[in-house]
Chain A
Amino acid sequence: MASTSEIKKGIVIQDPQGLWLVVEFQHVNPGKGAAFVRTRIKNLQTGKVLEVTYKTSESITIVEVEHRRMQYLYHDATGYTFMDNASYEQVTMSDEEVGDQGQYLRDGMEVNVSTFEGRPIALELPRKMTFKITQTMPAVAGNTASGNVTKEATLEGGIKIQVPIFIKEGEEVIVNTETGEYVERA
């Protein structure tokens, strides 16, 4: 048995309804109340998504998943295919399973893939990645009065993010892949 304080993104919980992947989690202390962990979990057999809140002292069963370093190969109609460089074994995750993370994948890059009983269930990207700005508007003079003004920029691969107005086309910026937000100039 494990404690709910060990809950984090990518772990798998087992309960009588089956195996659940933790997709999101957040510690919450409602106005001077006890401590809880609010989660969004996805059933690995049925794909059903539930929002469940646990008390932090509650016991849960966390099942062991394997973390493997893999190389991203290509994307096609079946989804995203990765290869284990040690065993040359290939696995494919569907577009739905990869979700928004897919936009950050670049051919040949290394990622962590969690597998359960040989099946890929979750993808972990480097938290910070560098991208080149392919398109953004030039800064407009006099538009700085109200503080951190941002503008939209398109990154290589077509990702759109908000960047500070001083960022120019052709510059490289660091993006937080968990939040999709601009971090700093590369």
Chain B
Amino acid sequence: MNLENVKRRSQVIKRIRAFFDDQGFLEMHTPRLVALPGQEPHLDPLWTEVHSPSLQATSYKLQAGLITSPEYAMKRLLAEGLDKIYDLGSCFRDGEPWDGTHDPEFLLLEWYRRDAGLEELMKDTEEMIRYVASSLLITHYSLLSQPFRRLTVSEAMKQYANVDLEPLLDDREALAQVVIEHGQTVQPTDTWDDLFFKIFLSEVEPSLGWNDDRTAFQPTFLYNYPASMAALARKDSKDQRFALRTELYIGDLELANGFAELADPVEQRKRFQEERELRRSLGKNTWPLDERFLKALPSMGNAAGMAFGVDRLVMLLAGASSINDVIPFSAREKFVPEEE
């Protein structure tokens, strides 16, 4: 922990709230403790139990989980009729590396708008970061001086890895061949997404948040992901092979992930079931689908929502190389025995 950075984190949180309040967003305080947390195959909730005499029929106890994001509650609130809402609070993810960019308890900001798409999300994100950075009296020239870059996933794969993605979208074998040509390994069990990530993570992602000679940040929105990589997003009406998802990269950090949100309960149920199957095939536990969430979905309208890592923004603005320096008492400080 670095006390100066912890103080700065407090200022950043205040400025984020001020930005969204000024823009007419309403802050929600959604539950941290839920019966059915998100079922994304590669996220693992932390589990606990709730006990109460009111639960007699089920021997006084029920399984409960901590949220990995406030997404389900936020979408249900949209479905109840709210518009322009945000939530800023701790979320919990188990099983991630404590590598300086992750902590099992981290501050997640999410905001949602009805009748909106990726364009509005990118604009909100860019304006919010400028607002926070400019008010902190820290000079971050590259955050403030230029518009954030926008690149589709296809453009980024072409620019950084010289791969034409579109002909490979439905062709795992052809992609596997390209992956081998790029010096990577291919396993029979690798899915299309796995193969994509082998090239993307080695050749594309490390460059996205930097200018060409890596001397300054170049904030970059990556958008329009292959449809399989966006379980909660609407598909692009102009090209159904892509989904309306965006991520923001600055320097070496991935700061935000947003969707034009899927509101079709039939399609959503299908994707949830596929995800649950994938969890099962990975040997992970599964739990029932959230029927209340699915029932509310059609009333949500064409909403868009962004999830934003607040601790990582603080790292960026404070010039801290590790999340452990910006949060008071990180997992490493809590759970790892002190070094001699």
Contacts and interface: CB of A to CB of B under 8 A. Distances in A.
A30 B187 contact: no
Contacts of A27: 97, 99
Interface string B264-290: 000000000000000000000000000
Interface in A122-148: 145-148
A29 B42 contact: yes
A53 B231 CA distance: 23
A30 B5 contact: no
B4 A148 contact: yes
A156 interface: no
B57 interface: no
A14 interface: no
A21 B206 CA distance: 21
A148 B2 contact: yes
B5 A32 contact: no
A33 interface: yes
Contact of B184 (A33, A52, A146, A181): A52
Contacts of B184: 52-53
Q: Which of A29, A32, A33, A54 is the most central at the interface, judged by chain B CB atoms within 10 Å of its CB?
A: A32
Contacts of B42: 29, 32-35
Contacts, number: 79
Given A32-B40, A148-B2, A38 B200 contact: no
Contacts of A181: 321
Given A35-B42, A38-B202, A53 B197 contact: yes
A117 B22 CA distance: 66
A34 B275 CA distance: 12
B318 interface: yes
A28 interface: yes
Contact of A147 (B5, B189, B199): B5
A28 B7 CA distance: 29
A58 B102 CA distance: 23
A147 B201 contact: no
A90 interface: no
Interface in B1-53: 2, 4-5, 7-8, 40-43
Contacts of A179: 321
A33 B40 CA distance: 9
Interface string B115-158: 00000000000000000000001100000000000000000000
B229 A147 contact: no
A103 interface: no
A139 B185 CA distance: 52
Contacts of A38: 201-202, 206
- How many of chain B's residues touch chain A, expressed as a range? 35 or more
A146 B317 CA distance: 11
Nearest to B201: A53
A34 B203 contact: no
A30 B4 contact: no
B175 to A, nearest CB: 14
A33 B247 CA distance: 13
Contacts of B138: 146-147
Nearest to A148: B4
Given A31-B257, A32-B40, A33-B42, A51 B202 contact: yes
Nearest to A54: B185
Contacts of B170: none
Contacts of B137: 145-146
B7 A36 contact: no
A69 interface: no
A30 B156 CA distance: 15
Contacts of B87: none
Contacts of B231: 32
Nearest to B190: A55
B297 to A, nearest CB: 19
B183 interface: yes
Interface in B199-217: 199-203, 205-206
Nearest to B278: A34
B291 interface: no
Residue with the highest number of chain A CB atoms closer than 10 Å, among B40, B43, B189, B194? B194
Interface of B: 2, 4-5, 7-8, 40-43, 96-97, 99, 102, 137-138, 183-185, 187, 189-190, 193-194, 197-203, 205-206, 229, 231, 247, 254, 257, 318, 321
Given A53-B198, A57-B189, 8 more contacts: A27-B97, A30-B205, A33-B197, A34-B193, A52-B202, A53-B202, A145-B137, A147-B4
14 contacts: A26-B99, A28-B201, A29-B97, A31-B257, A32-B42, A33-B193, A33-B229, A50-B183, A52-B198, A53-B197, A55-B190, A147-B5, A179-B321, A181-B321
